[in-house]
Structure 1
Amino acid sequence: MSDFRVPLADALDPLVLALDVGSTASRGGLYDAAGRPVLQHRHKVPHQFTTATDGTSTIDPDQVVAEVEEIVTALARPELTGRIAGVALDTFASSLVGVGPDGRALTPCFTYADSRCAAQVVALRAELDEREVQQRTGTRLHSSYLAARFRWLRETAPSTFAAVERWMSLGEYVHLRLLGTTAVGTSTAAWTGLLDRRTGAWDPGMLEVGGVGAEQLSEIRTPDRPLEAESRWPALRGARWFPVITDGLASNLGIGADDPSTVAVAAATSGAMRVLVSEVPDVLPPGLWCYRVDATRSLLGGALNDVGRAATWLEENVRLDGTDLGRVLTAEPDPGTPSVLPYFSGERSTGWAAGARALLAGVSAATTGPMLFRGTMEGVALSYARVAAQLQQVAGRTQRILASGRVTQDLPDWLQVLADALGAPVVPVTIKRSTLHGTALLALDTVAPGVERAPVDVGPTHQPVPARAAYYADRAARYEDLYRAVVAGG
């Protein structure tokens, strides 16, 4: 395998500074014009969401501003003056910050996993034709989107809601604090659930539902339209700052899933399965979203709240006693393995049950910690398979499945479980920080359009084992039975 990274002395100008605000950390790195990470030019600041049993999932937006400021200061060194042509930022999707007239946050940043507006989701589903909303905006009515969150805030914190002058994503707020101006990238706007997926403008009907005006939201910009701003860092003088994009779009681009023939499987704290299509699909299956990402392309797929989060829960709460987890995941399937619906923080695709919680079935006195681990990770794989079935209805059977993310690196043997559950080959992308890489590539399309990009490194393909097909078909049927009985019927 080649070393994808490059020393600064060999880096091709212009350079791009890429920034990523994820669920567990803020990160930054320098990339050269070929899209290669520059050795010894990266920085990371860990963080975590504030969570509670009532569904709270927030982070302090000013803390994130300070993290990004630290990263930029560490990487935009004086000796790089004149070499950095662009600064690009992605964040986790579906974030919300209320900002006052002084440009300061009046609320915490509500993350995609904050499910306290579940009751408002139920109310909206009774008031609106959810199918029609999905076809118009590309999103279902769910706690991770903003219509229900706005209503929840209006009902539970009316004085704060009234005091907010502008509503913005976390990335927009970072730009506002660092640059004094902001705008929202098309993909970030789409992830709010408030964008008309066909016109690329704010949807008047959903704004009315949320009780906000278009003047309270930022200007929408496609990824190739930088902000008109200069920063205080001398090394970034003349560099163009690009509107914030979502980590989902960045992840697809970063692993090479940038056309309709390739599906991306992202497996980090949360997860997703996505394909970038060049046309706006006419009709969407009920379990998927479709986010407009620029003037011509849309990202079609489904998201899972709990992938790495499920693995972490197991490692922290189940007695595994130094078990070789790789052997557990590569072992032949065992019919005695518990069936698990892995909804530790609610469900997004395909059923959009925000209040769903994990379900463990088939647990007996003979069930061991490793068996529970295997069952949970099978459940995660089957959650992806449910998304894949609906993707195929729109995009057809794609030629390639690329997988990336922390879980694919920490638990590489899980990819065999995924291949068996999907009944399709899975190719791991082995570069690190693929989301950062994608964010850099999108900026390079504008600042270095004529430079050939370096291909990413991939590992050996995981082929599905035909003899396991019947086992996973049975597991999928059990999953659906449990889902209908407990989640859909609850």
Structure 2
Amino acid sequence: MPEKSFVMGVDIGTTSTKATIFTTESHFVASHTIEYPLFHPKTDYAEQDPNQIYQAVLDSIKLVIQRAKLHSSQLLGIGFSSAMHSVIAVDVDGHCLTNSITWADNRSNEYAKRIKEEWNGHDIYLRTGTPIHPMSPLSKLMWFKEEAQEIFQKASKFISIKEFVIWKWFNQYLVDYSIASATGLFNLKALDWDQEALDLIGISKERLSKPVPTTTILKEMDVKAATYMNVPVDIPIVIGASDGVLANLGVGAIEPGKVALTIGTSGAIRAVVNQPITDPTGRTFCYALTENHWVIGGPMNNGGIALRWFKDQFSMTEVEMAKDRNKDVYDIMIEQAEKVQAGSNGLLFLPYLSGERAPSWNANARGVFFGMSITHQRQHFIRAILEGVIFGVYSIGKALNELAGPASEIRVSGGFARSEVWRQITADIFQQKVIVPESHESSGLGAAILTMYALGLLTSLEESKHMIHVLDEQLPNRDNAVVYEDLYRLFAHLSIHLNEQFDQISEFQRKSCK
């Protein structure tokens, strides 16, 4: 094996940063994860400490090199993936004036509504590709302008968590096209900040970072950081893209008909197109991968977190069984769900425990168990959660089919992809073949592949499809698919027609939590 035959993908996520080393043939070598907390100081707030995340980046890189037993000189380069939509206000010296305000933060909900209803929000979406929602930096900055005026005026820059890392390493404020395209402030056709969006919130381009291609290579990093991580100061750093678009690359869903579905804590379904496409009805996002590759799709707030909620609140039986059998509690829960026929005996779950993003973009949506009867047992509720999550992502997939064309296969990643039961439910609801790639590190692998492309090791991103190794595949069960066709119609009807009640109950909850 040549001396330099490894690349690293660093994925800055919502709950952890994971550094993963791959060979240039995309085989997994080693990974290291550093976790950090999400703070909720007030209702609807979801923040993180930028310096804590920066330290996690340093430590994950340093420790994965040690774990892989490599010398840093064997690394060809390091590429970045990052969660989207974060905002940090920094002063003229780069010091943080705020925590990192994450995608999960809903404090700007009322301003998102006003942008939609009063300030041509739909036109902004059509130009920028980011749906109007509290997750969006556009809405967050409007909140700062109106509710935190002192910080808004004092801030020299508004940046994301990845921009914070890049500034610490290279003393430059740079943002890749992918992260920029997820702000609601970036014009997809001009590949620059959208002047009308900036005028709406009252800031100039100078208060944002300089947009650059996702393949931009940076060298000569901060000596102190390089020494700490034990890497050369001139190691090529590829600025990379967002975790969502890189997940498509990491599972090989980069051609027409191939759709990527990721479900971890939250979830998303995405497809790659060759030009920016926005939805006339505003259901989907459009984010950049490169100047010639655009990812359209939609995220959902409630993926595996719904199953974790049920475990934490109602699954002491499964917890005890897991201890007795020395197994993971989620494996026990899935075993229980497997005992139940498709459709959960008419128990339907709307998985909106944390509001919802696509396709409704309703932060006030709330979770619902519908159809409960005296015959339903614990295992019915568990299976209904698995089915409800997939119904939710299927509703986004239907919109995606309209815009990008019908899917021929679904490539899955994230924690749910380890469950044969959950994968089969996916195949049955979508009535599509489900492909399981070998690596679950889809965003990290995507960052590594983009790094190889930026360094000239790949002639095109399409070439990378040969580097994705398939572990398994599942075909739909027609009998189950018929059951799910009927149930989905009811799921879609409830999701739409409960909007008024969602608003009423969420307002009651906000008042009662004060």
TM-score normalised by the chain length of structure 2: 0.87
Q: Mapping of 1:6-405 within 5 angstroms?
A: 10=1, 13-38=4-29, 41-51=30-40, 54-75=43-64, 80-232=71-223, 233=226, 235-281=231-277, 284-319=280-315, 321-322=317-318, 323-329=332-338, 331-334=340-343, 336-405=345-414
CA contact (8 A) 1:59 1:110 kept: yes
Matched residues, percent identical?
23
Instruction: Find the residue that maps to 1:236 and give its secondary structure.
Output: coil
Amino acid at match of 1:428: V
Q: Which has the higher helix share?
A: 2
Cα distance change, pair 103–400 in 1 and its aligned pair in 2 (3 A)? same
Unaligned 5+ segments in structure 1 are 1-9
One of 492, 495, 514 as aligned partner of 1:480: 492
SS at structure 2 position matched to 1:148 = helix
The answer to whether the 8 A contact 1:13-1:33 is kept is no
2:403 alignment partner, SS class: helix
Instruction: Tell me the distance in 2 between the aligned counterparts of 1:334 and 1:280.
Output: 37
State how far apart, in whole Å, the 2-side matches of 1:69 and 1:305 are. Answer: 29
* Greater alpha carbon shift after TM alignment, 289-298 vs 224-233: 224-233
1:88–1:184 CA distance, 2 compared to 1 (3 A): same
Cα deviations by residue, 1:23-76 (Å, 9 ceiling, x for unpaired) = 2211112223223232xx432111231236721111111100111111223345
Gaps spanning 5+ residues in structure 2: where? 319-331, 504-514
CA distance 1:282–1:477, shift in 2 (3 Å): closer
Give the corresponding residue for 1:7: none
Aligned-pair CA distance for 1:107? 0.6
User: Does the 8 A contact of 1:429 with 1:459 survive in 2?
Assistant: yes
Instruction: Output aligned runs, 1:431-446, within 5 Å.
Output: 431-446=439-454
State the match for 1:407 in structure 2: 416
Q: Using a 3 Å threshold, how does the CA distance of structure 1 residues 114 and 412 change in structure 2: closer, same or farther?
A: farther
Letter of the 1:83 partner, please give it.
Answer: Q
Question: Contact 1:273–1:303 at 8 Å: present in 2 too?
Answer: yes
- Higher mean C-alpha displacement, 122-131 vs 381-390: 122-131
Contact kept in structure 2, 1:264 and 1:273, CA below 8 Å:
yes
Partner of 2:437: 429
TM-superposed deviation, 1:423: 1.6
| 1:140 counterpart SS class | coil
CA contact (8 A) 1:17 1:29 kept: yes
Greater shift after overlay, 73-82 or 462-471? 73-82
| Structure-2 change in CA distance of 1:324 and 1:383 (3 Å) | closer
Whole-angstrom distance in 1 between the partners of 2:438 and 2:346? 30
CA change 1:82–1:448 in 2 (3 A) is: farther
Q: Is the 8 A contact 1:114 1:143 kept in 2?
A: yes
Partner in structure 2 of residue 459 of structure 1: 471
Residue by residue over 1:370-391, the C-alpha shift from the partner in whole angstroms, topping out at 9 and shown as x without a partner, is: 2111112211111111111111
Contact 2:122 2:132 in 1 (8 A): no
Amino acid at match of 2:443: T
Contact 1:19 1:28 (C-alpha < 8 Å) held by counterparts: yes
Show CA shifts across 1:390-440 (max 9, x none): 11112111322101111212x331011111111212112231322111111
Question: Helix, strand or coil for the counterpart of 1:438?
Answer: helix
Q: 1:168 to 1:475 in 2, by over 3 A?
A: same
Distance in 1 separating the partners of 2:63 and 2:170: 17
Contact 1:261–1:400 under 8 Å retained in 2: yes
Query: Kindly tell me: are residues 329 and 189 of structure 1, through their superposed partners in 2, closer, same or farther at Cα, counting changes over 3 Å?
Result: farther
- Asked if 2 retains the 8 angstrom alpha-carbon contact of 1:84 and 1:236, the reply is no
Q: Which aligned runs of 4 or more in structure 1 are off by greater than 6 angstroms?
A: none
Matches of 1:356 and 1:450 in 2, distance apart? Answer: 44
| CA distance, structure 2, for counterparts of residue 375 and residue 207 of structure 1 | 44
TM-score (norm 1): 0.91
- When residues 364 and 332 of structure 1 are mapped into structure 2, their CA distance, relative to the original with a 3 A threshold, is closer
Contact 1:11 1:33 in 2 (8 A): no
Contact 1:184–1:244 (Cα < 8 Å) also in 2: no
Partner of 1:224: helix, strand, or coil? coil
Q: CA RMSD in A?
A: 2.2
Give secondary structure in 1 for the equivalent of 2:126.
helix
Q: Which deviates more from structure 2 when the two are superposed, residues 98-107 or residues 464-473?
A: 464-473
Distance 1:342 1:324 in 2: 17
Letter in 2 for 1:377: L
SS at match of 1:413: helix
Corresponding letter in the other structure for 2:79: A
* Structure 1 residues 302 and 282, CA gap change in structure 2 (3 angstroms): closer
Between 429-438 and 185-194, the greater mean CA deviation after superposition: 429-438
- Judging changes above 3 Å, is the alpha-carbon distance between structure 1 residues 35 and 436 closer, same or farther for their aligned structure 2 residues? same
Q: How many Å apart are 1:229 and its aligned residue?
A: 3.6
CA contact (8 A) 1:284 1:394 kept: no
1:418 to 412, 420, 426: 426
Contact 2:9-2:21 at 8 Å conserved across structures: yes
With over 3 angstroms needed to count, the CA separation of the structure-2 counterparts of 1:171 and 1:134, relative to structure 1, is same
Task: Please tell me whether the aligned partners of residues 342 and 376 of structure 1 are also in contact (alpha carbons under 8 angstroms).
Answer: yes
Q: Could you give the per-residue CA deviations for residues 156-202 of structure 1, whole angstroms, max 9, x where no partner exists?
A: 22111211110111011012123322411111000111111112111
Secondary structure of 2:168 counterpart: helix
Go from structure 1 to structure 2 and tell me whether the alpha carbon gap of 1:332 and 1:282 turns closer, same or farther (over 3 Å shift).
closer
SS at match of 2:290: coil
Look up the equivalent residue of 1:180 and give its one-letter code.
N
SS of 1:351's equivalent in the other structure is coil
Once the two structures are superposed, residues 296-318 of structure 1 have per-residue CA deviations (whole angstroms, 9 ceiling, x without a partner) of 22101111111011111111112
Q: 1:488 to 1:195 in 2, by over 3 A?
A: farther
